Amino acid sequence: MILVAGSANLDFVVRAPHIPSPGETVMGHDFKTFPGGKGANQAVACARAGGVPTTMLLALGDDTFAQPLEASLAAAGVSMHIKRCKDLPTGTAFICVSDGGENAIMVAPGANTALLPADLPPLQGISHLVMQLETPLETVAAYADAARTSGVFVVLNAAPAQTLPAALLASLDVLIVNQGELAIVADHGGSVDECLARLQVPCVVVTLGSQGSCARVNGVVTRQAAFNIQPVDTTGAGDTFVGSFVACLAQGQDIATALKTANAAGALACLTAGAQSSIPTRSEVALFLSQHA
C-alpha cells in the first residue's frame, strides 16, 4: 500500500488572457473551484494509476471547503486518515491560469500546518511513503525517519522548494523535483547534471517540462522525451507525474517504464482544466501510450 502524507487544498481558479504582472489587474473570463493540494493530487494520481491501494494522511478544517476534498479522494478510491482542525480553515489555493495553459499559484495552507509528527499512522502494510513540502518541514523529516526505520520506501517531492537538512536527504530513496527546485535543493545554479552530482540520494528524478524528464539512479542517468501536446491547464501535471511514477515503482516497474508512464500521465493532465479533475486513469494512460508509441 502507498501512503501519501501531505497537503489538501481547495483551489479557486480564474482563467485569464495572461497571468498578472505585479500591480496589474487582469479581467478573467472563467472561475471554478477544484479539489487540489499537492498531497491530495498525488494520492489521487497514485490511486487512478491502479495496481496498488492508496491511503492518505491529511489535515482539514471543520468547514465546507473540506467536503469536496474528501469527496474527490473517496471517489478516486483513496482511504483517509483525517486530522480535523476546529481552529484552522481547510487549506486553499488561488490560481490564475492563462489562455496558454501556464499558471501562477498562491497557497493559504491553513490546516495543513497542523500536521504533526505524532499524527503518522502505523506503517504496517505500507510499502511506499510519499510526501511534499506543503506541510511543516519538521513533520516531513520525522515521517521520513520513521519510515526509513520501518523499512518503508521514502519518496519526497521537494515542492515548494526549500533548502533541505542533510538528515532528511539521507532518509530518502527517491527525490522528485522540477528543474528550478533541483537548483534550490542542490544549492547550485549550474546544469541539471551538475546539480544532480551534488545530491547523494539514490534516485533523483527531474521533470523538465517540454524537455521531458530524467532520473539518476546510482549514478546512471535515464532520459525520457516529452510528448507533443497543446496544454490547456498545467495545474496538477507535476503531481500527476509524481503519483504515476510512484505507482509504477510500487508495482515493480523499471525506471525507464516509470518515467515514460509518468510523462504520459502528466501530459494528459495538461489537457483538462483543474488539478484532480484532470488526472487520468490507468486505461487512459495506456491508450495514450498506444497512440504515441
Domains of the chain (ranges plus CATH)?
A: 2-6+37-88+113-291 (3.40.1190.20)
Query: DSSP secondary structure string, 31-79?
Result: EEEEEE-HHHHHHHHHHHH-SS-EEEEEEEESSTTHHHHHHHHHHTT-E
CB 96 within 8 A of CB 16: yes
For position 275, what pLDDT does the model report?
76
pLDDT tens, the chain, 293 aa long:
999 999 999 999 999 999 999 999 999 998 999 999 999 999 999 999 988 999 999 999 999 999 999 999 999 999 999 999 999 999 999 989 898 878 888 889 999 999 999 999 999 999 999 999 999 999 999 999 999 999 999 999 999 999 999 999 999 999 999 999 999 999 998 889 999 989 989 999 999 988 999 999 988 999 999 898 888 777 789 999 999 999 999 999 999 999 999 999 999 998 887 778 889 999 999 999 998 87
If 0-12 CB within 10 Å is exposed, 13-18 middle and 19+ buried, where does residue 20 land? middle
For position 228, what pLDDT does the model report?
87
For position 236, what pLDDT does the model report?
82
Write down the catalytic residue from 63, 173, 239, 254: 239
Query: DSSP secondary structure string, 106-151?
Result: EEE-GGGGG--GGGPPP-TT--EEEE-SSS-HHHHHHHHHHHHHTT
The phi and psi torsions of 259 (rounded to 5 degrees) equal -60, -45
Active site residue 239: yes
